[in-house]
Chain A
Amino acid sequence: MQSIINSLYNMRSLDELAKKESLIHSLHPLVKLLTTFIYLSVVVSFGRYEIGGLLHLIFYPILIFSLAELPVVPILKRILYAQSFIIGICILNPLFDQHTIILGGIVISRGWITFLSIFIKGGLTAAASILLIATTGIDRLAVALRMLKIPRIFVLQLLLTYRYITVMIEEVSRMVRAYSLRAPGQKGIQRSVWGSFAGQLILRTFDRSQRVYQSMILRGFTGEYNTGAVAKVNFKDFAYLAGWSLFFIIGRIFNIPMFIGILVIGVIK
């Protein structure tokens, strides 16, 4: 039950962050969405043994963190949590990959390379998604989705889902709490009441949706959903998108950290 409350807290805190004012927050949501997608595509396009070539991409999340003044630790925790599936699958890579390489005199399995590569990619991609929502918020993201011609019904339904998660969390926690007060020592809902516990909640949910529907049609809803006016994309937004895209793509073609390394070593020499 604690995890339910925690999730609520997490979502609310991200929602709150999205409402702040900053350079990044004021950018047009469509631009942020597109930049995120290009970033994700570039990160993911690197081969499995690439690590160095990826590293310059860390500029993107770091810059957003600073310019948007987002708290680093809580978001980092989220990213780490999101990595758990990846870690689960790839932790055995060093065992599976029989090839070894020598790194600075130590012989290690090549599997560590692939593991590290995926770990870094996972971190960067998770960061990009979470930073997107932390600087945009679901409302403005919905505007961006509409601009991409995503059907209105779907966007409305997405917003409704988001809106009612809080309500559901409260309802479910109430029932879970009431249950646990009468079921001491149990770890979860026991088998004999699986059906009725969740079933009751579902029936109540159906009833609620009925009332929501009524309140919607009583205010004129006929199946179409109108968002408000859509803000225009201006030069600043364009520059943001173009600038980052250029950086990502150049970094994809040329290995920038390598470049820096060579430069430095050359200079030292």
Chain B
Amino acid sequence: MHMADALISPVVGGIMLINTAGVAVYSIKKIKNDMDEKKVPLMGVMGAFVFVAQMINFSIPGTGSSGHIGGGMLLAILLGPYAGFLTMASILFIQALFFGDGGLLAYGCNLFNLGFCTCFIAYPLIYKWIICKGAESKRIFRASMFSALIGLQMGAFSVVIETFISGKTELTFGTFLLMMQSIHLAIGLVEGVVTATIITFIWRARPEIIEKAAIGEALGNIYIKKVLIGILIAVVMVGGLLSWFASKNPDGLEWSIGKNSGTTEVKAQDEIYNTLQEIQSKTVFLPDYSFKINEGATQAENAWPSINSGTSISGIVGGTLTLTLATFIGLVIRWGKRKSS
């Protein structure tokens, strides 16, 4: 579920980075204020554990295959939401750097999807809500399971929103949404049950761990307010960006429209015409580089339908040459270094 950089736009990435940074700073303050420095090594060691635990094969009965857990909900229940969030932050950071699992620009998005949705939405709204009637085995199981399941669904939903607003995929909103939600329903079921069985075990063996994590997080006004503010920000973001998106990149909508009204063929022909035009104009006005380049740039940027210069012949030639040049330079440097060492 980790999002790669290529799937988001810089704006979405930037906004999410700022959002999650704010939440992180708040969480750190909370931990410091509650004098919970004991949590620091706990966050570190548990973070390492969840990192590794994500690789454990939990075999799913009856299917002959196995599943893996994400761990967000587990962290929230065992460490409390603030420490859980920060721990998730470290895990994702290391995964992004060392495995390219989730990009650095998309870091904020991933932290939101896997950390915020579990620790600050699913945990207070579902887990705490079920538990507040009293903690006993069955309830703890149900609470863990549902909060993990729903937390994952929310995360999947955020992925869809973030990708769609970034405008980098050809999938329609509906298709993508259906795909993500159903896949993650299956994953969520596994994670839900695994989380629930683990929490139940720990609760039976050492209940104070779970009780301690929950202390101080009263399900009250403070929490609801935070959650509502978060949702409000998300709504504003979605609204603002959707309108920007709609004006700049009508592709998605237009494609659906185009498909329905059967105008695609006509459009394709226009494009071919444009391509030929472009090639002609570009090769004719050779000396006047600055004029041409600007034209090419604006054409690619704003007009629709326009063919990106990358598909015209010059672009292909240039592209190939660039790659060759780059590789050549790279090899030369290497060769040079080997000679000197």
Contact = CB atoms under 8 A, between A and B. Distances in A.
A172 B10 CA distance: 38
Contacts of A221: 37
Contacts of B60: 191
Max chain B Cβ within 10 angstroms of own Cβ: one of A52, A63, A188: A52
Contacts of B244: none
Interface of B: 2-10, 13, 24-25, 28, 31-32, 35, 37-38, 40-49, 51-53, 55-61, 64-66, 78, 86-87, 89-91, 93-94, 96-101, 103-105, 163, 167-172, 175-176, 193-194, 197-198, 200-202, 205-206, 209, 249, 251, 255, 258-259, 264, 267-268, 271-272, 275, 282-283, 286, 289, 292-293, 296-297, 300-301, 307-311, 313-319, 321-323, 325-327, 329-331, 333-334, 337
Given A63-B333, A82-B101, 13 more contacts: A37-B105, A69-B337, A90-B170, A104-B313, A129-B97, A151-B28, A161-B90, A194-B58, A209-B46, A258-B310, A259-B293, A260-B321, A266-B283
Nearest to B43: A157
Contact of A176 (B5, B32, B56, B271): B56
A225 B123 CA distance: 30
Give the bracket for the number of chain A residues in contact with chain B.
35 or more
A31 interface: no
Interface in A63-84: 63, 65-67, 69, 78-79, 81-83
A199 B311 CA distance: 55
Max chain A Cβ within 10 angstroms of own Cβ: one of B10, B46, B52, B314: B52
Contacts of B314: 258, 261-262, 265
Contacts of A227: none
A189 B308 contact: no
B318 A258 contact: yes
Nearest to A190: B59
A27 interface: no
Contacts of B307: 49, 101
Contacts of A266: 283, 286
Chain B contact residues, majority secondary structure: helix
B198 A194 contact: yes
Contacts of A29: none
Contact of B315 (A14, A79, A158, A255): A255
Given A41-B10, A158-B93, A203-B205, A78 B308 contact: no
Interface of A: 1, 3-4, 7, 10-11, 14, 36-37, 40-41, 43-45, 47-56, 58-59, 62-63, 65-67, 69, 78-79, 81-83, 85-86, 89-90, 92-93, 96-104, 111, 113-114, 118-119, 121-122, 125-126, 128-130, 132-133, 138, 141, 151, 153-154, 156-165, 167-169, 172, 176, 186-191, 194-196, 198-199, 201-203, 205-206, 208-209, 212-213, 216, 221-223, 253-262, 264-266, 269
A74 B64 CA distance: 32
Nearest to A155: B90
Contacts of B258: 98
9 contacts: A43-B5, A47-B300, A48-B251, A62-B330, A69-B337, A102-B272, A133-B97, A190-B61, A265-B313
